[in-house]
Structure 1
Amino acid sequence: MIDFIRGQVAYHSLDAVIVEASGVGYRIFCPHPFYWKEGEMAQVFTHQVVREDSQNLYGFANTDERDLFRLLLEVSGIGPKVALAAIGAGSPRELVEAVQREDLRFLTKLPGVGKKTAQRLILELKDKLEKAGWTSLIRGAKDVVDTPGYTAQASQEAIDALMALGYNESEAQAAVHQAGEAFGEENPSVDEWIRKALQVSMKAK
């Protein structure tokens, strides 16, 4: 099993990123291929699916996305393409919360997921997510933004904005949290928060 690949991004396709490592170009199917820039060094966390007629690599920016992808594959009727599309349609937090709420409306909007598949997702995933620690992880992510001096709603908007700019969820949460600590007791606007979070993240790189 290939756990991750570290190398230089050679180029993209619409559904994959090609990473060169030790002279070999690996085509890795991703929910967000353009997260990685051409020419940069990247580490892609991977899951390998071996079948009689194919050997495919599926890649993710972080282990949370990959772990959730693996759990989705355990649901009957969910294959790699549908699982990858589900990961790409929203953040892991949104998907986990939808399963916890038994939100069929949200789940049936995912590519390739009808009502019956959505019901199986809830039935087969709810307990597994709890046992895997996802429920406490999601609660912890919410607590990150509940700091005196600013509102959870504004901080979540800032997180969403950073994710739209290409940050993964954990990076966006960390940057927004650090920006909130810098503001102290001030009550900044969302725009101010985004600017500060971008400054924090750039200094960290």
Structure 2
Amino acid sequence: MIEYVKGELAELTPAQAVVDCNGVGYGVSISLNTYSALQGKKECKLYIQEVIREDAHQLFGFINKEERELFLLLNSVSGIGGNTARMILSALSPVELVEAIGTENTKLLQSVKGIGKKTAERIIVDLKDKIKSTAIVENGHVTVGESTLSDMDIYNESISALTMLGFAPAPTRKVVHAIFKENPNHTIEEVVKLALKRL
């Protein structure tokens, strides 16, 4: 099993990265989250998940282990294959996905192309308990790469407050996520004030 590939980033598109490891180019399917993290880099390290079927041998690559863990969890849900799991991780950040499952937000999951109501409900039923024991959720906190959202209530309430002020949910989540990534210890008031300047 390949744990990771590390080398020169030979090619990069929103769907694929080619990593040159000592003259061998590995074509790796990636999510938009990983694509964003790789932009502008000459070298990279991607955590790999191999998906082997009768008709294909595909490598999926992730910028960190948390994203790979979520991919594996999504892949374990009936009816969700590798490409659908990658689509979900492209539409939602790991934090947004964990939040959607934890708060049973079927509408957010349904905003992903190809995910209907039944599939969204199945994801929540199958993964709600499993998500709590993943590396991305430790002691009730949600980890974002190296930083932690110390209080999910503040995170969720900040988004609710901004949504009630008339801002669209998707861009609001991205802005609040970015604010927490910079400083996970903000109060709701601080988050809302900072977000209003950026939205």
Question: Under a length normalisation based on structure 2, what TM-score does the superposition of the two structures give?
Answer: 0.72
- Structure 1 residue aligned with 2:64: 62
The structure that is strand-richer by fraction is 2
1:116 pairs with one of 115, 118, 123: 118
| 1:34-53 to 2 correspondences below 5 Å | 34-37=36-39, 40-53=42-55
Distance in structure 2 (CA, Å) of the matches to 1:143 and 1:124: 25
**What fraction of aligned residue pairs are identical, expressed as a percent?**
30
Structure 2 CA distance, aligned partners of 1:39 and 1:109? 30
1:23-172, aligned counterparts within 5 Å? 23-32=23-32, 33-37=35-39, 40-132=42-134, 134=137, 136-138=140-142, 141-143=148-150, 160=174
**Within 2, Cα distance between the matches of 1:91 and 1:162?**
12
1:109 to 1:10, Cα distance in 2 relative to 1, 3 A? same
CA contact (8 A) 2:2 2:49 kept: yes
Separation in 2, partners of 1:60, 1:91: 12
Q: Does structure 1 residue 4 correspond to structure 2 residue 4?
A: yes
Structure 2: which 5+ runs fail to align? 160-170
Distance 1:86 1:97 in 2: 13
Deviation track 1:122-175 (CA, whole Å, cap 9, x = no partner) reads: 1100111123352623289332799xxxxx959xx9x94598xxxxx7xx856x
SS of equivalent residue, structure 2 residue 89: helix
Q: In 2, are the aligned partners of 1:11 and 1:38 still within 8 Å (CA)?
A: no
TM-superposed deviation, 1:58 = 0.6
- CA–CA distance in structure 1, aligned partners of residues 78 and 61 of structure 2: 21
CA RMSD after TM alignment: 3.6
Instruction: For 1:125 and 1:145, locate their aligned partners in 2 and report how far apart those are by CA, in whole Å.
Output: 18
User: By percentage of residues, which structure has more helix?
Assistant: 1
* TM-score, normalising length: structure 1: 0.70
The amino acid that maps onto 1:143 is S
Q: What is the number of equivalent residue pairs in this alignment?
A: 174
Are 1:20 and 2:26 an aligned pair?
no
Cα distance in 2, alignment partners of residues 76 and 8 from structure 1:
36
- Partner Cα distance (1:107, 1:160) in 2: 15
